[in-house]
Structure 1
Amino acid sequence: MPIRPENRSRYPKNWKEIRAAILDRADNRCEFCGVENYSMRLNPKTGKEVKIILTIAHLDHTPENCDPANLRALCQKCHNTYDAEHRKKTRTKGGDA
Structure 2
Amino acid sequence: MPIRPKFKWLYPIDWPELSNAIRFGRAKGRCETCGRPHGKEVRHLGDGRWWDEEQQLWRNGRGRSLPRLVVNDHAAVRTTKVFLATAHLDHDPSNCPSRNLKALCQRCHMIHDREEHQRRRRITLRMRKAIGDLFLGLYR
Please indicate the TM-score interval, normalised by the length of the shorter structure. Answer: 0.7 to 0.9
In structure 1, C-alpha distance between the alignment counterparts of 2:120 and 2:96, rounded to whole Å: 21
- Counterpart position of 1:77: 107
Matched, 1:35 2:49: no
Shift of 1:5: 1.0
Gaps of 5+ in 1: none
In structure 2, C-alpha distance between the alignment counterparts of 1:47 and 1:11, rounded to whole Å: 38
- Counterpart position of 1:16: 16
Shift of 1:56: 0.5
In structure 1, C-alpha distance between the alignment counterparts of 2:28 and 2:78, rounded to whole Å: 26
Shift of 1:47: 6.1
Gaps of 5+ in 2: 47-75, 125-140
Shift of 1:82: 0.6
Q: TM-score, normalised by structure 2?
A: 0.60
In structure 2, C-alpha distance between the alignment counterparts of 1:81 and 1:87, rounded to whole Å: 10
Q: Deviations over 1:17-72 (max 9, x none)?
A: 10111011011100000001111123656965331110010010010011101100
- Structure having the higher Rg: 2
Runs of 4+ aligned residues of structure 1 deviating over 3 Å after TM superposition are 42-49, 90-94
- Structure whose residues are more often helix by fraction: 1
Greater RCO, 1 or 2 (C-alpha within 8 Å, sep 6+): 1
Matched, 1:61 2:91: yes
In structure 2, C-alpha distance between the alignment counterparts of 1:65 and 1:92, rounded to whole Å: 26
Instruction: Indicate the SS of the match to 1:92.
Output: helix
In structure 2, C-alpha distance between the alignment counterparts of 1:2 and 1:44, rounded to whole Å: 26
In structure 1, C-alpha distance between the alignment counterparts of 2:115 and 2:85, rounded to whole Å: 18
- Counterpart position of 1:4: 4
